Amino acid sequence: MKIGGLAVAVLILLGIGTVGLIYTRTDVPDPNALKTDQIATIYYADGKTVLDRVGSTNRTDVPLAKVPDYVRNAVLAAENRSFYTDPGISPTGIARAALNNVKGGDLQGGSTITQQYVKNQFTNGDRTFSRKFKELFVTVKLDKQYSKDQILEWYLNTIYFGRGAYGIEAASQVYFGRPVSKLSVAQGAVLASSIRSPALYDPQSHPDAAKARWKFVLDGMVSMGKLSQADETKQKYPPVRKKTSGTADDVRKTWVGHVEDQVLDELDQAGFSQARLNQEGLRVVTTIDKRAQDAAVNAVQETFADQKSPDPAKQLRQALVAVQPQTGNVLAYWGGPNGLGTDYAQSWRQAGSAFKPYVLATALTQTLDPETPDDKKISVYKTYDGSSPQTFNGTEVANSEGGQCNPCSVMDAMRRSVNTVFYRMGIDAGPANVADTAHKMGIPAERPNGQKTLQEKDGTTQAGISIGQYEVRTIDQAQGYGVFAAGGVLHPAHFVAKVVDSTGKVVYQHEDKASRALDPKVANDVTYSMKPVAAASEDPLADGRESASKTGTQQYLDTGGNSDAWMVGFTPKVSSAVWVGTDKPQAMTTVQGNQVYGRTLPGLTWQRFMNNFLTGTPEDELTDEVEVNPSFRPAPQVTATRAEPSPTPEPTRTRHRKPRPTRSPTPQPTTEPTPTSTPGEPTQTPSPTPKPTRTRTGPPLPPGSP
């Protein structure tokens, strides 16, 4: 049997006698020996407090004859299209593993179906070269002693399909509620598409990625000659059953289920499938801080206790994510109350004004470039024409309630969320450059289905990016603002700290892949510009604790109602983002009939979380200096042209500090932006209705403020 150049070389080096001895003593594993009854334990960051347990014994074997040919072919199209003609091993995969072993890198390799079966049954997926070596002998012997049909039958009865299901019969019941013999072509392709990564291709958790993989499987069947092009065209992605809990205490039906999904996704990408977790009974230590998580859950539940709408379509949904800026540790995560439902922290929604800090970061970065023309260089004290409305390249943009601010400093524009200033700034900096900055700060360049972010289908980025036209996720915003808190360094958000086996040995340790996203001076000045926002929005932290933040409110089309509302902000210890919206973008209101704005329900949730989590911790002050173009001087105070009450100063702080120079103009009323409704452009509006009653440390806002 031909086994490839590398395998031959290995055999020669070992010597014929040694090879013969090893080959003789190598046993082919029994498919019934696979252990699936182990329980993997997931812990909070302290490594002692149990967060969740993962495990299942769901497995039912079936003879290959009961698996329709088109289901078998779907599996082959997904995992090993040359299964019936190849020698059972992948020489290139072994060679790659050997090379990476020498380099000290990850041991990855393209495995055949036979190798996958051997790995799961015999070597427990250990990521070592010795595992690849064992696979070589077992695979050769297995391929010699048994038929391809027998190997495929064993494989189909033992491979993990996700959702606690081992084997294709159990998977058929879990995903479609029917035996494998009754599956359709489309359904068989769904199951086949999940094998590569059950967590990352789950139809409920990652629908876009699942559908893309499903199409890959169908295309493979066509290329193999097992499905006609005409029949592929007729296929529609089938309905899939919702997830059900496989844990004894049913915690998946709570917020814990969303954390579990993120942990399993991350482990899957690191080479630790749920099948391996179950087989080896591994212990997973997460980054979730119990105090932070409790604060997050309480903040959401307290704020929305009186917001239970009888109409599910109008029910307000929330997401809250908190990360540690210096490490990327996800400290708290709320994707919704039902872990078997939608994870709203992973939902893509328009950012509104909460995207404006990325615009300022781009403009300041260009200011540090000596090649940038002087008239394009800025400072947080530079003034713009903030009058409203204005027309930019044929697009009319307006400020909230026609608010005027001319001349308007960047500091004023950030605090008052003046649309016309940031729209002009974004055009000057270049919309594509703003997108590039956001990507460097952790906003993914593409979604799981391959769709590019922060751009149109033709690859261009519109100027509306400056006021939040494009969609982001709550976790992205927490991570992105964390870059400002970390002095311009991106520490990618992650959920897993380490994995420990039953003997206490650490088999996986997270490695921080930090990168410089912004110049420290730029991070400093954007932070400085956002310091007044929380107080101006009536969401200051307790006891005068400093924060930097930004609200965002997205109007739904031209309805006058808001579809998305944000509050994102940070201290040196924690960066957190809160989103409020509905299942599908629409004009939303509270059950009391009030509009929802960034400073209302999201702001109150953010404030409660931050206060509860930070209470009793040392207070770290934010920057008091401007570092980019510090020679600029604050612009003189300008009174808004429309009639409104005199602004109320920021609340008196109880801490004792050294006097600081006043660098920003006297606070003015905050306004949420409202660009005139233009096709393709985002719109935001101020709150015309009273906010919920709150206990605050700051003063009331003047009428007309959001």
Helices (H), strands (E): how many in the chain?
Answer: 22, 20
**Nearest CA among 167, 164, 314, 313 for reference residue 241:** 164
- In order, the DSSP letters of 459-526 are S---GGGGGT-SEE-HHHHHHHHHHHHTTTEE---BSEEEEE-TTS-EEEE-----EE-S-HHHHHHH
Among residues 354, 411, 418, 407, the alpha carbon closest in space to that of 628 is found at 411
Cα(467)–Cα(437) distance, integer angstroms: 15
Q: Which of 353, 400, 563, 687 is catalytic?
A: 353
Unique residue bearing structure tokens 């496989």: 246
Distance of CA 47 to the CA centre of its chain: 24
CB atoms within 10 A of CB 666: 11
How far apart CA 687 and CA 684 sit, in angstroms, is: 10
Contact 381, 410 (CB under 8 A): yes
Strands (DSSP E) found in 200-329: 283-286, 317-323
What does the alpha-carbon distance between residue 216 and residue 229 come to, in Å, rounded to a whole number?
13
Active site residue 79: yes
Phi, psi dihedrals of residue 19, rounded to the nearest 5°: -60, -45
Among the options 56, 79, 90, 471, which is catalytic? 79
Task: Concatenate the DSSP letters of all residues of 374-388 into one string.
Answer: GGG---TT-EE---S
Distances (CA, A) of 93 to 115, 118, 133, 142, 155: 10, 14, 11, 18, 19
Q: How many CB atoms are closer than 10 A to CB 313?
A: 9
Return the closest-CA partner of residue 124 out of 272, 264, 283, 268: 272
Specify the pairing of strand 390-392 against strand 330-334: unpaired
Tell me if residue 396 is catalytic: no
By C-alpha distance, which of 633, 482, 458 is closest to 548? 482
Q: How far is CA 644 from CA 169, 588, 594, 639, 647, in A?
A: 69, 27, 22, 10, 9
Give the tokens for residue 486. 């970390």
Q: What is the spatial distance between Cα 136 and Cα 144, in angstroms, rounded to a whole number?
A: 12
Please list the active-site residues: 79, 353
